[in-house]
A and B are shown apart, each in its own frame.
Chain A
């Protein structure tokens, strides 16, 4: 019991002393600030602990650096994924933009064609978009989104932007089937198609038919050996008048077809020249076309 009482007293004394010491230090701290005994204690504590603090910092720094590096790597990964997403979106937007730009360029060229071409001045026309293209060895047709409701009739010629040519547009083909809101167009590359054509600026006439051995190129056939034809001459449709064989042409005169790219004479005994014509139109990327309403609808 006595031991317990003594212990109690000792405890109270110790705690009281510590409380008094704390309060004294606090009071001195307020009165002296960083001067005097308090300042000395603080400077001493700093001096003693500084080397240990420095050592601790040196020890922990590699871990901190490793942590920062790891978290940075994680951040870099997530940022990389985010940037990839943004790049994919930007690429998609770029593709759309290029597509719109391409369509605008095509529209622009068709507009120039309608403003500068005599053929466009002679006939009414309607713009259309290609909705379907079925190119194969046996059938070269496209479907456009205008039909009889827009005044389109079977036999109407269809032109499309002509790449880099100054003529702005070139012959694509002829309407073969018409529904109220769509039309099927047989391309001049179709094996069953033949177009009465002439070399611009001269009297040379012939028939442009697809070259069976060279897809995308036309042969200007039935041009006599005596005629003078040179490469880079423009070939246009010959007109509605009957040709030498007495066949009625189906397309009006003056629609650009293509450029003469080669003239050959394989055999002196051959009656006709061999003339290759490269169409102005890129048939692989048909988007916008113009239907010339040549055929009068009842």
Chain B
């Protein structure tokens, strides 16, 4: 449901509300939130659904954005999850808001650089400098700004669950 709402907002509302040629990536904020709150599987599932829906709505190459969202979500999830050999508190704390924002920035960069690289490899991309200064950096900045508002809302929608019950914790 959240994927659907944010996809519609990203493609319908944002182009009107945000001036410029790029729009913030709301779905990557959702994927990062899910990765932080629910772990890698949920992040991968959310990234896949978000990517498929976005590509379908944009009549693009189905599966490309899914891969990138999944990659971004998994990267964030593995960054915050405890490894098998580390003893952590059952109540492993949620990263601080600034760190969450940093994850959003990096995840957006992964998605945008991946999309740009894919377009370049497929031969339908723009010059690298154009992609960098006119697409990648503006999208990262706009997404980061919007994440300041959207992250707290999504955290309320998807409350943090302690990972002590499910993840392997060494004795």
Contact = CB atoms under 8 A, between A and B. Distances in A.
B167 interface: yes
B57 A15 contact: no
A52 B57 CA distance: 12
Nearest to B39: A11
A56 interface: yes
B168 interface: yes
Interface in B29-81: 40-41, 44-45, 47-48, 51-53, 55-57, 59, 61-64, 66-67, 70, 74
A22 B70 contact: yes
B7 interface: yes
A209 B36 CA distance: 105
A25 B84 CA distance: 33
Contacts of B74: 15
Interface stretch (A27-35, A92-100, A224-232): A27-35
B21 to A, nearest CB: 16
Contacts of B99: none
A42 B51 contact: no
B8 interface: yes
Chain A contact residues: helix, strand, loop or mixed: helix
Contact of B61 (A4, A26, A49, A54): A26
Interface residues of A, number: 41
Contact of A60 (B12, B48, B53, B55): B12
B44 A14 contact: yes
Given A14-B44, A49-B7, A29 B63 contact: yes
Nearest to B8: A52
Chain B contact residues: helix, strand, loop or mixed: helix
Interface residues of B, number: 35
A295 interface: no
A60 B63 contact: no
B63 A23 contact: yes
Given A7-B168, A11-B40, A23-B67, A46 B12 contact: no
Interface in B10-42: 11-13, 16-17, 40-41
Nearest to A21: B48
B145 interface: no
A82 interface: no
B123 interface: no
Contact of A19 (B17, B53, B67): B67
Contact of B48 (A7, A18, A42, A54): A18
A54 B51 CA distance: 21
B102 interface: no
A64 interface: yes
A14 B45 contact: yes
Given A19-B70, A26-B61, A49-B8, A61 B45 contact: no
A64 B56 contact: no
B13 A26 contact: no
A22 B67 contact: yes
Interface string A37-62: 01001101110010011101101110
A90 B169 CA distance: 80
B94 interface: no
Nearest to B68: A22
Interface string B78-94: 00000010000000000
Could you say which of A7, A18, A19 has the most chain B C-beta atoms within 10 Å of its C-beta? A18
Nearest to B69: A22
Contacts of B64: 22, 26, 29
A59 B9 CA distance: 11
B166 interface: yes
Contacts of A45: 53, 56-57
B161 to A, nearest CB: 14
B59 A56 contact: no
A51 to B, nearest CB: 10
Given A3-B166, A7-B166, 12 more contacts: A5-B168, A14-B44, A15-B41, A18-B70, A19-B70, A22-B64, A24-B63, A25-B66, A29-B64, A52-B4, A56-B8, A64-B16
Interface of B: 4, 7-9, 11-13, 16-17, 40-41, 44-45, 47-48, 51-53, 55-57, 59, 61-64, 66-67, 70, 74, 84, 166-169
7 contacts: A3-B166, A4-B168, A10-B41, A15-B41, A22-B66, A52-B4, A57-B16
